[in-house]
């Protein structure tokens, strides 16, 4: 455990702002004559943000186990890969992590048990995905959910490099028979301690990576959900409620909103793999994949997947893609939809897995 905590501290998310600041002056289109001044301003903003946001202290809670064990049939095996947003850094209970939330939602919608393995690592870049994929393949997953990208932006990873690692991960998982859902790079400009002009630069770079991720993932056979600034408006209105204690990561409610955006795509992916659909598929809007990626990066909660037009996968502008905008994920009713509770009722997630089995996956009983 000591080594894990030490690793988290070494990879503080707010070495981030310094990375964004250094790339901003050139990448943001600043003219050469003003580059030095702009860089100084951004560097100063990054230092102030770093002083405000505390260092990561310990790994997030684990939520591994079987959710919905009361339902019949063999468990659906789900793995969660990525960085701190996938691991659920900022919450204190395993049931509040994104993986546990998604496992609960899938179990209740499909009336099937779900076995969850959380393999995400706080501070991970896309370059860390090969190690996580290797561990994931040992679990023979039916569904893989990947949340990655924020650290690539802040560490100045070239978009092409970050995307290459991601697409390799998607291809390996798909080749093994797993369905893959990727939550694309979040909008770092939504983080309140980041002030303009640094906020504008962070938003621009986040959207560029998110769009590139969408094109690559869909081409590789996965589907994406744009997280973008999905939490931005609610964070601005209720920062004490939607942010975790560090003012950088989401709170339990913030993660629940993000999980609600990912859940429809996860259900759709499982339906294509032969699992019973939770509801009739909703029609979406057809676009060329590049256009779909561009729109999705600017509209949080948008799912992008492969499509055909007239029996053809590709048109004049490239591969066809379907957009589904899950606007409910932006509403207060998203939590109720996710957990299957009535409107106004507080959601009750599954209880934390037991650790008495020496680290093996355990059964997670439901409170509801």
For residue 92, give Cα distances in angstroms to 29, 58, 295, 356: 41, 11, 35, 19
Query: What is residue 191's DSSP assignment?
Result: -
Catalytic member of 117, 155, 249, 326:
249
Tokens of 186: 């979040």
- Per the annotation, the verdict on 206 as an active-site residue is no
Catalytic member of 246, 288, 294, 362:
246
Catalytic member of 64, 84, 124, 350:
84
Beta-bridge partners for 318 = 315
Tokens of 305: 């997947």
Cα(81)–Cα(85) distance, rounded to whole angstroms? 10
- Per the annotation, the verdict on 92 as an active-site residue is no
SS3 (DSSP) at 176: coil
- Per the annotation, the verdict on 246 as an active-site residue is yes
Tokens of 160: 């092409």
- The neighbour count for residue 245, using CB atoms within 10 Å, is 12
Which value, to the nearest 10 degrees, does the dihedral of the CA atoms of residues 242, 295, 326, 283 take?
A: 180
SS3 (DSSP) at 185: coil
User: Catalytic residue positions?
Assistant: 84, 246, 249
């Amino acid at each position: 455990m000591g080594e894990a905590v030490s690793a988290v501290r070494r990879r503080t998310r707010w070495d981030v702002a310094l990375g964004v600041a250094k790339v901003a002056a050139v990448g943001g289109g600043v003219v050469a004559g003003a580059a030095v001044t702009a860089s100084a301003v951004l560097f100063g903003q990054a230092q102030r943000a770093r002083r405000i946001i505390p260092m990561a202290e310990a790994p997030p809670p684990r939520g591994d186990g079987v959710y919905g064990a009361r339902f019949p049939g063999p468990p659906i095996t789900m793995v969660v890969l990525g960085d701190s947003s996938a691991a659920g850094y900022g919450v204190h209970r395993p049931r509040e992590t994104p993986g546990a939330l998604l496992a609960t939602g899938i179990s209740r919608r499909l009336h099937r048990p779900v076995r969850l393995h959380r393999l995400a690592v706080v501070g991970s870049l896309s370059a860390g995905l090969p190690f996580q994929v290797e561990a994931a393949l040992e679990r023979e997953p039916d569904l893989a959910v990947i949340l990655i990208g924020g650290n690539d932006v802040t560490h100045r990873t070239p978009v092409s490099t970050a995307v290459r690692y991601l697409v390799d991960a998607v291809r390996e998982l798909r080749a093994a028979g797993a369905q893959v859902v990727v939550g694309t790079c979040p909008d770092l400009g939504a983080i309140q301690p980041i002030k303009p002009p640094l906020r504008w630069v962070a938003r621009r770079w986040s959207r560029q990576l998110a769009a590139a991720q969408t094109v690559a993932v869909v081409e590789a056979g996965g589907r994406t959900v744009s997280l973008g600034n999905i939490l931005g408006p609610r964070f601005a209105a209720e920062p004490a409620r939607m942010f975790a204690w560090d003012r950088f990561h989401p709170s339990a409610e913030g993660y629940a909103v993000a999980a609600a955006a990912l859940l429809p795509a996860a259900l759709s992916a499982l339906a294509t793999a032969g699992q019973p659909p939770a509801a009739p598929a909703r029609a979406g809007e057809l676009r060329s994949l590049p256009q779909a990626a561009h729109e999705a990066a600017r509209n949080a909660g948008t799912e992008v997947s492969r499509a055909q037009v007239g029996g053809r996968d590709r048109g004049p502008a490239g591969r066809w893609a379907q957009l589904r905008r899950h606007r409910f994920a932006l509403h207060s009713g998203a939590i109720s939809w996710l957990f299957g509770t009535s409107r106004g009722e507080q959601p009750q997630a599954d209880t934390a897995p037991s650790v008495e089995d020496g680290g093996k996956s355990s059964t997670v009983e439901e409170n509801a």
